[in-house]
Amino acid sequence: MNKLLIYQSDFGLVDGAVSAMEGVALKVDLDLTIRHLTHEITPYNIFEASYRLYQTVVYWPSETVFVSVVDPGVGTKRRSVVAKTKDDKYIVTPNNGTLTHLAANIGIVEIREIDKNLYRKETNFSHTFHGRDVYSYTGALLASGKIQYEEVGKKLDLDEILCLPLSEVEVSENLVRGNIDILDVRFGSLWTNITREDFLKLNVKYGEKLEVTIYNGDTLVYQNQIVYGKSFAEVMVGSPIVYINSVFKVGIAINQGSFAKAYNIGVGSAWVVELRKAK
Amino acid sequence: MNKLLIYQSDFGLVDGAVSAMEGVALKVDLDLTIRHLTHEITPYNIFEASYRLYQTVVYWPSETVFVSVVDPGVGTKRRSVVAKTKDDKYIVTPNNGTLTHLAANIGIVEIREIDKNLYRKETNFSHTFHGRDVYSYTGALLASGKIQYEEVGKKLDLDEILCLPLSEVEVSENLVRGNIDILDVRFGSLWTNITREDFLKLNVKYGEKLEVTIYNGDTLVYQNQIVYGKSFAEVMVGSPIVYINSVFKVGIAINQGSFAKAYNIGVGSAWVVELRKAK
Amino acid sequence: MNKLLIYQSDFGLVDGAVSAMEGVALKVDLDLTIRHLTHEITPYNIFEASYRLYQTVVYWPSETVFVSVVDPGVGTKRRSVVAKTKDDKYIVTPNNGTLTHLAANIGIVEIREIDKNLYRKETNFSHTFHGRDVYSYTGALLASGKIQYEEVGKKLDLDEILCLPLSEVEVSENLVRGNIDILDVRFGSLWTNITREDFLKLNVKYGEKLEVTIYNGDTLVYQNQIVYGKSFAEVMVGSPIVYINSVFKVGIAINQGSFAKAYNIGVGSAWVVELRKAK
């Protein structure tokens, strides 16, 4: 193992929760390299946790261990697992949908349920903080090489991976219809589920215009023509742009502005985006 | 020493202050492992700094050095100290109350005042940023083993440790009365000062109900029956629960909601919680 | 090289962007020590990015590599460079003004344009995320010693460093006039561009009063007498103070309050501060 241990949660960084997880891990092995994906996942938002893993995991070295704790079901019978991805990363997480995007986009090759005998025993066990006493501890044992993946616990069937529903993209001759998966929060850009490959079927070239229509359920929220560009600065400051984002899907942004705030746009399967080649 | 150096402050992460502290430490020894507890302590809130140390320090390996800088008295005659805890951690901090919870719950076995000759001399000394020029620098010297604990400075009497007043918990036959120490900020749960041991004297079992009354001074803020459970998901989403939190004290939460926001509840000795076994 | 790699950006910590940058770097060399200056630079604010580097870089060891990505011009012809400072640090950044304060205060001794052949090739290249595919990757190659500085790309003339305009400080017999560069955000203190040396020409001693006048353009925003002190706690809680801040320039604060919020004060060259010795 490469000793890299990466954390994600919805705990925020305002109290001692993340530090307690780190301490537990470094008590297992002082040589672990601990890094953080984010701890600002919207509380209880499993879809977002799943997406952030998908956005990030691929850029890390093989054998990296990720601990993701967005766990509204802590203390219930939801299973605690370690998944192994096709590109040889390990994800320590409740089996509650957090593996959705990795399963759909990267592939999970094996999944094991964490054996209760592995849980941290040193002090009292918390029924509300499995991030510390189950996930961080197991992640540290695995990343440090103190246990092998096979020793995590019994193998589950791959179809036992709990996956959230993902919306489909529809492609017809002059139309691509998808939805808004998530925001590039800081900059207010919309990240759709439309891949570059599907988008290119519209046969639009850089500098040409698209007709962009956005619905929230049945309600029309936005309709206008937007230029397709490589990067934000190809349009004037304050102007909108359709582009391919850093996960190689269609994004919609305002150069140095926030598209999401400008038009009060949210995320999820109800937020539909239609792209047509403008005439 | 294990070379672990952990920082806490009320500086936030929006500017260069934390990074300047890190740089100063890594200039002392490139092999230090620097981690952060939190830098989001409410500005000037020494009680909170003290609590976050108490919540976290115990999970770290022996010999870990903590630097905690919540320092409204910077530049005055408040003393700069390094305390050694009973479980063999070192805390570098102004002696302004930051050691309160560690002294009360873990125990401080020795305390030394930082000798002014140890202060960083390389560049001009700042009268407003002792975090960089005193605490980080001293912490790095100690964590790296470049000085021994005995070389920090002269020993103080243990009763020179400045401690904030802590509220007592009252236990009678059918009533436990405590106060709200702090919030689990991100999730809005109330963390009381009532230990599990005191709580269990009420002889309440999982699934049974408690009568919970909350006062702000003389004002009644909340009164209702709440079920006692192991973990949040044992009640419906949106329902309240009394539970034992991850520091093994009584917490009060709303499953996937914020108890603190729902009822405008704050923290401190004026915020009193009464728990009675419901009839 | 010392293997230290420090990141700064306006990406925030709420999504996977920073983690993707880290992963790319650790794939280059697992032994890099990655630290963060801040990722909370106001979006697109190059001046702030430049200032935070100036505030911090000096405290780090020689050979440290900084990657700063505030890049509103991503995808345009703005150049990607690595600058070497007089004190032997390396700054990997778009040449868009981010080097302004280092050039003016520390000195840049050499600057090279990143050769496109160095860009990360492993996966598809993003036109919107050069932080990952250009800056982090180049920074990691350099910090790890896998390339020498000379191999970054062709040398540019030092006068090709793009610098933002910096306001001058005016000193006359009884008056020093400067502007507000930036805030100590968390505490709401004003940080001016007036150096200690210029300030001391007013011949004011600790405990004496200054007349402080603040304009926003032509509008008078604040005018009052404020005491000059070493540190905040020398005045009553809630009282204002003029002091020398941790970068050794004039700061204006309220002890345990926010001067900026109290008087709605902003930053930039239009925000002028006049200091006179009070009679």
Helices (H), chain B: 17-28, 46-56, 100-105, 130, 137-143, 196-200, 259-262
Residues of B in contact with A76 (CB under 8 A): 231, 233-234
Partner-chain residue, chosen from A2, A38, A61, that has the shortest CB–CB distance to C15: A38
Q: Has residue C66 got a pLDDT over 80?
A: yes
B205 part of contact set with chain C, CB < 8 Å: no
Write out the residue range of the structural domain in which residue C252 sits: 170-277
Residue B63: closest CA among chain A residues belongs to which residue?
Answer: A27
Q: Has residue C123 got a pLDDT over 70?
A: no
In a shared domain, residues C131 and C174: no
Residue B129: closest CA among chain C residues belongs to which residue?
Answer: C246
Q: For position B186, what pLDDT does the model report?
A: 92
Which one of A142, A160, A178 terminates a domain? A160
Handedness of CA C199, C200, C203, C205 (dihedral sign): positive
CATH of the domain at B10: 3.40.50.10790
Residues of C in contact with A13 (CB under 8 A): 13
Helix axes A46-56, C17-28, angle to 10 degrees: 30
In a shared domain, residues C266 and C227: yes
Q: Determine the average pLDDT of the residues in C74-97.
A: 95
User: How many beta carbons lie within 10 A of that of residue A146, not counting itself?
Assistant: 12
Q: Determine the average pLDDT of the residues in A62-69.
A: 98
Q: For position B161, what pLDDT does the model report?
A: 98
Buried/exposed code over A3-30 (b: 16+ C-beta within 10 A; e: otherwise): bbbbbbbbbbbbbbbbbbbbbbbbbbbe
Report the neighbours of C using a cutoff of 3 or more CB pairs below 8 angstroms. A, B
A49 part of contact set with chain C, CB < 8 Å: no
Residues of B in contact with A20 (CB under 8 A): 55-56, 59, 246
B16 part of contact set with chain C, CB < 8 Å: yes
What single letter denotes the amino acid at residue C210? L
Percentage of residues of chain C with pLDDT beyond 70: 99
Residue B165 lies in a domain: no
Partner-chain residue, chosen from B61, B182, B246, that has the shortest CB–CB distance to A132: B246
Partner-chain residue, chosen from A2, A37, A39, that has the shortest CB–CB distance to C16: A37
Beta-sheet pairing, C189-195 with C209-216: unpaired
Partner-chain residue, chosen from C4, C230, C255, that has the shortest CB–CB distance to B26: C4
Q: For position B107, what pLDDT does the model report?
A: 98
In a shared domain, residues B206 and B224: yes
Residue C165 lies in a domain: no
The confidence band for C222, taking pLDDT boundaries of 50, 70 and 90, is: very high
CA angle B16, B21, B23 (to 5 degrees): 90
Q: Which residues of chain B have pLDDT under 50?
A: none
Q: For position C75, what pLDDT does the model report?
A: 79
C250 part of contact set with chain B, CB < 8 Å: no
Q: Determine the average pLDDT of the residues in C184-201.
A: 95
The percent of chain A in helix, strand and coil, each rounded to the nearest 5, is 25, 35, 40
Residue B247: closest CA among chain A residues belongs to which residue?
Answer: A126
Q: Has residue A238 got a pLDDT over 80?
A: yes
Extended strands (E) in chain C: 4-9, 33-38, 65-69, 80-85, 90-94, 108-113, 170-172, 175-184, 189-195, 209-216, 219-228, 240-244, 249-254, 268-277
Contact indicator for A24, A132 with CB cutoff of 8 Å? yes
Contact: A233, C19; criterion CB under 8 Å:
no
Q: Has residue C122 got a pLDDT over 70?
A: no
Residue C24 lies in a domain: yes
Q: For position B121, what pLDDT does the model report?
A: 84
Q: For position C173, what pLDDT does the model report?
A: 86
Least confident range from A67-81, B56-70, C6-20, C113-127: namely C113-127
CA angle A67, B61, B189 (to 5 degrees): 55
Question: How high is the ipTM of this complex?
Answer: 0.94
Give which of C9, C18, C231 to mutate to test B binding, by max B Cβ within 10 Å.
C231
Give which of B15, B40, B45, B123 to mutate to test C binding, by max C Cβ within 10 Å.
B15
What single letter denotes the amino acid at residue C68? S
pTM of the model: 0.95
Which one of C141, C160, C179 terminates a domain? C160
Q: Chain B: nearest CA to A32, how far in angstroms? A: 10
User: Number of structural domains, chain C?
Assistant: 2
CA angle A177, A179, A262 (to 5 degrees): 110
In a shared domain, residues A189 and A244: yes
In a shared domain, residues C72 and C201: no
Question: Could you write out the three-class secondary structure of A74-140?
Answer: CCCCCCEEEEEECCCCEEEEECCCCCHHHHHHCCEEEEEECCHHHCCCCCCCCCCCHHHHHHHHHHH
pLDDT in tens, C28-48: 999 999 999 999 999 999 999
In a shared domain, residues A124 and A236: no
| CA separation for the pair B167, B173 (Å, rounded) | 20
CATH of the domain at A230: 2.40.30.90
| CA separation for the pair B192, B247 (Å, rounded) | 10
Give which of C42, C47, C59, C258 to mutate to test B binding, by max B Cβ within 10 Å.
C59
In a shared domain, residues A108 and A205: no
pLDDT in tens, A35-59: 999 999 999 999 999 999 999 999 9
Residue A176 lies in a domain: yes
Residue A273 lies in a domain: yes
Q: Which residue has the higher pLDDT, A233 or B36?
A: B36
In a shared domain, residues C18 and C150: yes
The confidence band for C269, taking pLDDT boundaries of 50, 70 and 90, is: very high
Least confident range from A121-130, A268-277, C104-113: namely A121-130
| CA separation for the pair C118, C137 (Å, rounded) | 8
Give which of A50, A246, A247, A267 to mutate to test C binding, by max C Cβ within 10 Å.
A246
Residue A29 lies in a domain: yes
Residues of C in contact with A2 (CB under 8 A): 30
Distance of CA A52 to the CA centre of its chain: 2
| CA separation for the pair C91, A62 (Å, rounded) | 29
Helix axes A17-28, B46-56, angle to 10 degrees: 30
- For B186, the 3-state DSSP assignment is coil
Mean pLDDT, chain A, whole residue set: 95
Partner-chain residue, chosen from B16, B44, B127, that has the shortest CB–CB distance to C52: B16
Q: Determine the average pLDDT of the residues in A185-194.
A: 95
Q: For position C226, what pLDDT does the model report?
A: 97
Contact: B232, A74; criterion CB under 8 Å:
yes
In a shared domain, residues C236 and C136: no
In a shared domain, residues A179 and A118: no
Residue A195 lies in a domain: yes
Contact: A38, C13; criterion CB under 8 Å:
yes
A71 part of contact set with chain B, CB < 8 Å: no
Q: Chain C: nearest CA to A189, how far in angstroms? A: 12
Which one of B117, B132, B160 terminates a domain? B160
Q: Chain B: nearest CA to C8, how far in angstroms? A: 10
CA angle C234, C236, C241 (to 5 degrees): 60
Residues of A in contact with B246 (CB under 8 A): 17, 20, 126, 128-129, 132
Helix axes C46-56, B17-28, angle to 10 degrees: 30
pLDDT in tens, A89-131: 999 999 999 999 999 999 999 999 999 999 998 666 788 899 9
In a shared domain, residues C114 and C155: yes
Distances (CA, A) of B39 to B64, B194, B227, C60, C160: 18, 27, 35, 20, 38
Extended strands (E) in B123-263: 170-172, 175-184, 189-195, 209-216, 219-227, 240-244, 249-254
Which residues make Cβ contacts (< 8 Å) with residue C97, sequence separation at least 6?
C46, C47, C50, C162, C163, C164
Residue B6: closest CA among chain A residues belongs to which residue?
Answer: A19
Residue B24 lies in a domain: yes
C45 part of contact set with chain B, CB < 8 Å: no
Contact: C38, B16; criterion CB under 8 Å:
yes
In a shared domain, residues B107 and B144: yes
